[in-house]
Amino acid sequence: MSTIPSFDAYQLPEDHDAVREAVRAVCDAKVAPNAAEADEKAEFPVASYDALRAADFHAPHIPERFGGAGADALATAIVIEEVARACASSSLIPAVNKLGTMPLLLAASLSLQERYLRPVAAGEAMFSYCLSEPEAGSDAASMTTRAERDGDHYVLNGAKRWITNAGVSEFYTVFAVTDPAARSRGISAFVVEKSDNGVSFGAPEKKLGIKGSPTREVYFDNVRIPADRMIGEPGTGFGTAMRTLDHTRVTIAAQAVGIAQGALDFALGYVKERQQFGRPIADFQGLQFMLADMGMKLEAARQLTYVAAGKSERGDADLTYFGAAAKCFASDAAMEITTDAVQLLGGYGYTHDYPVERMMRDAKITQIYEGTNQVQRIVMSRQLLKG
């Protein structure tokens, strides 16, 4: 006869609570004060990056054997959540460092891991992920960037679009076609360095949100790199890309949860202070119902995200489903919660003087990148039909 698990089983371990407290302290003191300026100027928040590096929260997922903090997937999600609560743009520092390095952790040789993970763990470099192209977004297998073998080198030509932190990152995981006849099985993955001859960047995109995180095109013009910079075996790149996204969609879910938490926190403080008709607007039942829905959706999103993080850490067989579900649900919830936060502040919510309009703009991208939520629903339905 099975026993009913204790409710204690649903509490975070004490060390994860300690991680949250530590990250929140850093973010409240040294990240949140930079958020509005990073958004207003559309500039990478160097001061926030320095603060995260100093506290070892810039790439917490990198294992200790490579000089990293060795945080598990749940602790990493909590770090990203807490940074996003303060500044969504800054949360893309730990999130994209994980996205860019996950292919190496999954498939690279030990020598390649040693060479490139250590500088990221030390805060000496960031890592970006180059999959999308101008004509290959959701249909990533249709990419046209080529990598042709030339002796003990590969020569890369092509362009990647929507690359987060492009130009700031020193290293890039780049997916390119090595066998055009094999479609997805002809795609390989490589590490490209910013300093490699032939690497260049487009102008920063002018975006709705996450303005403090640069998004640019990356161009490869006869970029010649050693063959030992291939991640895994030839033709395994697309599989590595998809496995990576199974893990990192959890980080986007965590980002969405953090953005939503920041908006709810601010809205709660506002409605308790704002007076109309002689009393705080928090006393009005219509607004209380809005707050209840916001809190309910947020907690549901958080719990689903944490479950998915646990599955990511264990490498469970159903991670593909749960990663997609967490990303989709949390980002939809974040968009709803931040929009309601703007509504709760009325006209003030629509101005730059208050942070909730920024949070609403930042939340929108979580429904789009690392696979649109329409794609997530395709992924989930296919997993359900497969049983």
The tally of CA atoms less than 13 A away on the side-chain side of residue 101 is 30
SS3 67: coil
What the block records as the tokens of 147 is 């990598």
Is 56 within 8 Å of 120 (Cβ atoms)?
no
Q: State which H helix or E strand residue 197 sits in.
A: none
User: Considering only CA atoms, which of 83, 98, 100 is closest in space to residue 30?
Assistant: 83
Is 146 within 8 Å of 176 (Cβ atoms)?
yes
**Distance separating alpha carbons of residues 363 and 184, to the nearest angstrom:** 31
Q: Is the dihedral of CA 109, 67, 322, 165 positive or negative?
A: negative
**Distance separating alpha carbons of residues 164 and 336, to the nearest angstrom:** 24
* β-bridge mates for residue 154, sequence order: 149, 225
Catalytic one of 81, 133, 357, 370: 370
Is 163 within 8 Å of 130 (Cβ atoms)?
yes
Interacting residues of 18 by C-beta distance below 8 A, sequence separation 6+: none
Angle at 357 between CA 356 and CA 358, to 5 degrees: 90
What the block records as the tokens of 318 is 């159903």
**Distance separating alpha carbons of residues 294 and 290, to the nearest angstrom:** 6
**Is residue 370 flagged as an active site residue?**
yes
Which residues belong to the active site? Answer: 370
